[in-house]
Amino acid sequence: MAKLKVYHRRHKKKRRSPNWSELQPELLQLITNNLSFVNVLQFKAVCSSWKHAATSSHTPWLMLPSSSSRENDQNNPDSAARCFYSLEEQKVYTIKNAFQGFDHGARCVGSSHGWLVIMDSNGNPHLLNPFSRRQIQLPLIWPFPRLTGDLSLESLRMCVSIAKAVLSSDPSRDNNFAVVVIYDSLPSKLSFCKHGEEDSRWTVLNVRREYCDVIFHNKQLFALAGDGSVEVWDFNNSFPIKTIDLRQPFAEIGNVDIVKDFSRGIHSNQTYLVESLGEILFVGRIIQNFVKHEDIGEGDLPQESDYICPYRTLHFYILKLNITAKKWEKVESSLRNRALFLGGNQSMSVSTRDFPELEENSIYFTDDRWEEINYVEDYGGHDVGVYNLGNKIVKTLVLDQFNKWRVDPPPFWIVPNPW
């Protein structure tokens, strides 16, 4: 009797498709650390777990006017657009609705933790993240009546005089943050508000000094005055407490060799504070007040000259704060693999080891001479570049927006923040 052969059908195992949302957070972090900011925005859109993992840091971007030459025209559909230049990619991106919801008179007066401080045409302050497009309304700073739509932009700028605005922390991750502004003049004032508190309002800190710059470091506010003195305010309490008041005149600053080489009148000096590797630095910026296109100084200009004579940054110098000795000291060495970013933004120190696309021992700067920018029609916003502390050479950024003397609205450094 013949044996029957029995054939068993093999069933193929169904291959399980990978669940990308189950990748370990450590692996996701390694991935995001190697992505550009634009790729991070695409990365966080995949799923909720990837969105929460998108926490990598990036080099500052430069916010520029859009390619339209009529941004302040309220009838221009591109008035809400802004361009952003990535140093990492050396590429310009355009966000068409970055300032959506703001009218053509809105002005940026500060940049901190990836957020912009915006004054609208009615004098109301806002926080704006141009990448996530989140907005936070801040209390009205001044008790003046609501401004009308007929008020000219120039009149608004005369009423709304903010020299600097900084945040204590990232509003994307901390709802209990503080905002500090330097406003008014002769003397300028420090004022703050704490978001997240009931009945949040602006409160004046001090009115006795002419303030030049403010920065936050470890929940402490460092305020620099024109005479080189420094105040430190502790913001860990319900009301800020002044913990340090160093009244140091310009004795050390006046002895800096680079300052002696430039005469007053023809040159002017702007000053900044920046925290770098735990040290508080004083950065001086020497600006030639009148420069023709050929970089000829004021002394070489003929009396009958019709040339527009804007200003141009020539040099920088750095001192560091010795709190124990209560004085400023010269910085003899380089910035130790760092690059500084100065201007209307909260001053920053960035590692050139982490971001090799940046020039080490250099200062990236934007134009923050608000008197010229706000009141002069022919120029302003143009003084943008990179200064190398080693060879003392200033390089301009080769971008279409800098082919003219007037760049409006003026450029700002901002650290791109996806939240």
Residue 151 has pLDDT above 70, yes or no: no
CA-based nearest residue to 368, from 310, 308, 412: 412
Which pLDDT value is given to residue 287? 94
State how far the Cα of 213 lies from the Cα of 385, in Å rounded to an integer: 20
Above pLDDT 70, what percent of the chain? 70
Which pLDDT value is given to residue 395? 95
pLDDT digits (tens, 9 = 90+) for 47-70: 666 555 555 567 899 999 987 544
Using only C-alpha atoms, the chain has a radius of gyration, in whole angstroms, of 25
Query: Quick one: average pLDDT of 36-57?
Result: 60
Report the residue count for the chain.
Answer: 419
State how far the Cα of 204 lies from the Cα of 182, in Å rounded to an integer: 10
Residue 391 has pLDDT above 80, yes or no: yes
**Which ranges in 199-266 belong to alpha helices (H)?**
251-254, 257-260
162 against 30, higher pLDDT: 162
Mean pLDDT of all residues in the chain?
A: 80
Query: Quick one: average pLDDT of 355-380?
Result: 91
Query: Quick one: average pLDDT of 163-171?
Result: 95
Which pLDDT value is given to residue 322? 87
State how far the Cα of 101 lies from the Cα of 149, in Å rounded to an integer: 15
Query: Quick one: average pLDDT of 337-353?
Result: 96
Band of the pLDDT at 374, cuts 50, 70, 90? confident
Which pLDDT value is given to residue 147? 43
Above pLDDT 90, what percent of the chain? 43
Band of the pLDDT at 327, cuts 50, 70, 90? confident
Reduced to 3 states, what is the DSSP secondary structure of residue 53? helix
Which pLDDT value is given to residue 198? 78
CA distances from 239 to 231, 234, 235, 314 (A): 15, 9, 7, 41
Cβ–Cβ < 8 Å for 104, 95? no
Residue reference for tokens 């053509």? 104
Query: Quick one: average pLDDT of 148-164?
Result: 58
pTM, two decimal places: 0.84
Which residues, in sequence order, are CB contacts of 6 under 8 Å at separation 6+?
none
Q: Which of 39-53, 173-187, 195-209 has the highest average model confidence (pLDDT)?
A: 173-187
Residue 20 has pLDDT above 80, yes or no: no
Least confident of 48-62, 99-113, 230-244, 339-353: 48-62
Reduced to 3 states, what is the DSSP secondary structure of residue 15? coil
